[in-house]
Amino acid sequence: MTTAPAERKSTNSWWQSPYDRWLVAQDVPVFTGYYVEDLRTIELGWWDLRGCPGAVLNLVGHQGVTEAHLLQVPPGETIPPFRMATEEIVYVVEGQGIATVWAEGHPQINFEWQKHSLFRIPSNYYYQLSNARGDQPALTLHVSYLPLAMGIQPREEFFFNNSFVDPTELYGSEGNPFSSEAYAVRETVDRGGEKHETHQWHANFFPDLNVWDKLTAYGSKNRRAFGAGITFPNSAIRTGMMVLPPQRYRAAHRHGPGVTIVGVAPGSGFAVMYPEGGEKIVCPWTEASVFVPPNNWFHQHLNPGGTQNRQLRVFPPKALMGYDGGLNKEIPFYEEDPWVREQFEAALAEQGLPSLMPPQIYEDPDYVWDDPEMRDKD
């Protein structure tokens, strides 16, 4: 299931979305399939729109909702200024450098980024990225709702030649909006009528996602993971972090399309994805991996390694997640296909590690696992 650059075909069919037609016209490698095992090793090609090497990820699970693309900033260079009429979330896969962001007619704002940094570029703000190192390229992953936006406004120039900008996004207060200290707030969120306690991280810029530890244990006894929401001021993009402790795995669950999941911590594992009653697809998992579960497909995260698995998730708009339509169903461990447990334990055996999943969880529907490692990280 390794992805490869897709062949470009344009039929100008009414069935093609405006984003599909736009993407065919781009001179950049486009990767399809279900996952990318390692962003650091995929083929890049010159992208005239961005003025640098890049690649687009148009994976099956993106399904016309979200898009992701990878840019390379060559050693010691600065890529050309760019703006787009949809906001972007930028995650630094490799390297370190300086970002310069500005609204037309306003002062430039600069901040430094490094590997594992995360930041947001507001709609129609210019920005450019500079590589501070002269010995290696930098890689940045960009995620947006461009396919969804093009579905209701198909004119390309609306997105890439649009003069509207809201200067209050970044110029509404004193100081550098990218240097303000991030903070976490414990909040209650509503998911399809169910109340869940969670930490929400607030900032325009997170210097290193691997150092944040304000995390909430999932409420369901089958989830076996920690999470935190990420809130960017005035942003429509929904983002969050999931942390899976070692030698454990999550129960299978499903939701709507377009959730882009990125590995942000060293270590290895795998994900399993499948439509109900269908063939299972195993996605190898490591730092810089990406997978996107297709709409309504069950999937689960398995960590047979000895260190935590940390994943950045960029969600679609809330209405598409399926919380209110019954899609957000999970399969408890005692009902799952025994094949999943077999694969997990085989992967553990390869590393000489024991499973930390209690046997009772596969047998007793009422079993409550009081795992000291699965308590809130405040």
Q: What are the boundaries of each domain within the chain?
A: 18-152, 183-354
Distance CA 259, CA 236 (A): 14
| CA 215-218-219 angle, 5° bins | 130
Q: Which regions of the chain are under pLDDT 50?
A: 1-2
The one-character DSSP state at 320 is G
Closest CA to 312 of 63, 130, 87, 142: 142
Buried b (16+ CB within 10 A) or exposed e, 122-142: bbbbbbbbbbeeeeebbbbbb
The one-character DSSP state at 235 is -
Residue pair 59/70 in contact (Cβ under 8 Å)? The answer is no
CATH of domain 183-354: 2.60.120.10
Length of the chain as a residue count: 378
In the chain, the amino acid numbered 198 is: T
Strand, helix or coil at 206? strand
Give the tokens for residue 291.
Answer: 């997978």
**Comparing 18-152 with 183-354, is the CATH topology the same?**
yes
Strand, helix or coil at 200? strand
Closest CA to 33 of 62, 65, 13: 62
Distance CA 156, CA 26 (A): 12
Interstrand relation of 309-315 and 238-244 (parallel, antiparallel or unpaired): antiparallel
pLDDT at 181: 76
Q: Which CATH number fits domain 18-152: 1.10.286.10, 2.60.120.10, 3.30.300.30, 3.20.10.10?
A: 2.60.120.10
pLDDT at 1: 45
